[in-house]
Structure 1
Amino acid sequence: MENPTTPPVTLLEQDGEVTLSIGGEQAMQAWERDLMWASADMLCEYGHDFYEVGLGLGLSALRIAGNPATRSHTVLELFGEVEDLFRARHPELPGNLTIERGDFFTRVFELPSESIDGMFFDPALDMEVWKDAELWARTMPEVVRVLRPGGVFIPFFSTRPELRWQYLPHFRRIRVERRPYTAYATTSYTYGTEGDAYIQCFLKD
């Protein structure tokens, strides 16, 4: 799923709001912090070596790397501008945190089997990608292959109480936690600007 052109990446800070914009769309906002931290803390309950897809503002990356349980944490980011913005705000990174550049839908096939305890998944993807059933049918078995037994796959939170069809067929056990959230009045990617969010944790047997 390589992008033929790199979309513009902008960090917008105004009226107390922080928004990472990719291609003119809201990719991530700072109000997500508590949900990202809760997701990161859940991930770290399941081992010591972790992998993250999508750097964003780096809220979860720094939280995972800073957990006492974490031995190694690798983040894969597609857009160099996103990494540049993050490094400008965080010039000194934890020693166990590595940032790599690449396309997840290619890289996942290259990762060693049973090499990580958990994957946090929060990339900026076009809607056509989310709807591509064949792509997910090819990709998710590779995610399961990369996880160690007892490992977990945690996608970004949902503001709808629905299990995501892209991942559901590939796991027998799913842990779900409900958390309240309040987004910005300008947030466009949630179902409403306040209510309940759902963190879904898919466990490999």
Structure 2
Amino acid sequence: MTRPGTGHTDDTAAEENSAKPEIRLIETDGEVTLSIGGEQAMQEWERDLMWASADLLCQYGHDFYEVGLGLGLSALRIATNPATRSHTVLEIFDEVEELFRARHPELPPTLSIERGDFFQRIHDLPTESIDGMFFDPALDMEVWKDKELWARTMPQVVRVLRPGGVFIPFFSTRPELRWQYVDHFRRIHVERHTYTAYDTTEYTYGTSGNAYIQCFIKD
């Protein structure tokens, strides 16, 4: 499971075709890692980038949706923003939510967590029902490369966004717009941030440098 551009992994769809992976929270030497299927799914050093993405999302409305819970860094940031009226997180694995709730037993009243596969659920979401979507799943590389899948999926994402709403995927450590999304939006806002990962981080292009937050805006 890989995030293109950073390699992030914190899963939604495409697991239907594979065995259920082992999920663990690893805390060693001051490092916190969510491991899914033996791979680094997410690490706590990402906090500032997750918060920056969440804060950007919250500038565009009041009702938000997130794909992939992970460590919950962005979920809690979005849910506790004064602008937020509702924030729903879609997560495919029970174990990920259980680990999150063990660390955060009291959740903000604005936050709800649902179980499901994004590529199925997106078709059921009401039209123009949210102001923004934060997209942070970990998917197998063949899913990221499936042009037909993204051609079917992204128009559904645009459909559920209200006019002026935004789609923000996880940060990239390469300065290039992602082909999966770019053809479906006319306006795109990009922010550059610096980052320093753990020495043990395997999913970024280097353990320090520039990270890019891409915000796709619906006209």
Q: TM-score range by the shorter chain?
A: over 0.9
1:172 and 2:186 correspond: yes
Alignment of 1:136-147 (within 5 A): 136-147=150-161
Q: Distance in 1 between matches of 2:192 and 2:152?
A: 29
Matched residues in 1 for 2:102 and 2:139: separation? 24
The residue aligned with 1:27 is 41
Q: Secondary structure, in 3 states, of the residue corresponding to 2:90?
A: strand
Identity of aligned residues (%): 82
Distance (Å, rounded) in 1 between the aligned partners of 2:167 and 2:23: 27
| Runs of at least 5 residues in structure 1 that lack an aligned partner in the other structure | none
1:95 aligns with 2:109: yes
- Partner of 2:215, secondary structure, is strand
1:16 maps to 2:30: yes
Is 1:59 the equivalent of 2:59?
Answer: no
C-alpha displacement at 1:2, in angstroms?
A: 4.7
Q: CA RMSD in A?
A: 0.7
Alpha-carbon deviation of 1:126? 1.0
SS in 2 for 1:135: helix
Q: Indicate the residue corresponding to 1:116 in structure 2.
A: 130
Higher alpha-carbon deviation: 122-131 or 67-76: 122-131
Runs of 4+ in 1 over 4 A off after TM superposition: none
1:3 equivalent to 2:16? Answer yes
SS in 2 for 1:153: strand
Q: Which residue of 2 aligns with 1:83?
A: 97
Superposition TM-score, scaled by structure 1 size? 0.99
Query: Displacement of 1:186 after TM fit?
Result: 0.7
Gaps of 5+ in 2: 1-13
Q: Secondary structure at the match of 1:37?
A: helix
Q: Cα deviation per residue 1:158-190 (whole Å; 9 max; x = unaligned)?
A: 000010000000000000000000001111110
Q: Which deviates more, 126-135 or 94-103?
A: 126-135
CA distance in 2, matches of 1:131, 1:52: 22
Deviation of 1:147 after TM superposition, in Å, equals 0.1
The DSSP-based 3-state class of the residue aligned with 2:16 is: coil
Equivalents in 2 of 1:75, 1:135: separation in Å? 22
Structure showing greater relative contact order (alpha-carbon pairs closer than 8 Å, 6 or more residues apart):
2
1:159 partner letter:
T
Counterpart CA distance in 1 for 2:64 and 2:124 is 16
Instruction: Identify which range, 48-57 or 128-137, moves more after superposition.
Output: 128-137
Please name the residue that 1:47 is paired with: 61
Give the paired residue count.
205
